[in-house]
């Protein structure tokens, strides 16, 4: 929801998301069960799957992020877009 709020220009001055899914299309491809869960939770998903996934996949529209952000999965794209971010790598 944080990603969608930023896209819809909510009055957010900074954002932090830990382990948020940034690409729902990829998530559905990797785990088909995800489609069922999304269909149950996203109003209008059936018949508008592509649009629903894109709208909620910040990896598709990262250029729209205009607030300082702490993301754990999106640092490379934000760097290319010269966006403010902080990278913490907890996997090492």
Rounded mean pLDDT for each run of 10 residues along the chain, 92 residues in total: 84 81 87 90 92 87 80 68 69 41
Single pTM value for the model? 0.62
The pLDDT value recorded for residue 68 is 78
The pLDDT value recorded for residue 74 is 63
The pLDDT value recorded for residue 71 is 65
The pLDDT value recorded for residue 40 is 92
d(CA 33, CA 35): 5
The pLDDT value recorded for residue 72 is 63
- Written in H, E and C, the secondary structure of the chain is CHHHHHHCCCCCCCEEECCCCCCHHHHHHHCCHHHHHHHHHCCCCCCCHHHHHHHCCHHHCHHHCCCCEEECCCHHHHHHCCCCEECCCCCC
């Amino acid at each position: 929801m944080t990603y969608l709020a930023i896209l819809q220009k909510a009055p957010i001055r900074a954002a932090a998301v830990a382990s948020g899914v940034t690409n729902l299309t990829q998530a559905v491809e990797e785990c088909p069960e995800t489609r069922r869960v999304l269909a149950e939770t996203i109003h209008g998903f059936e018949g508008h799957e592509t649009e629903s996934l894109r709208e909620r996949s910040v990896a598709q529209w990262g250029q729209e992020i205009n607030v300082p952000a702490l993301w754990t999965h999106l640092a490379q794209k934000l760097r290319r877009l010269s966006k403010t971010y902080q990278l913490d790598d907890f996997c090492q």
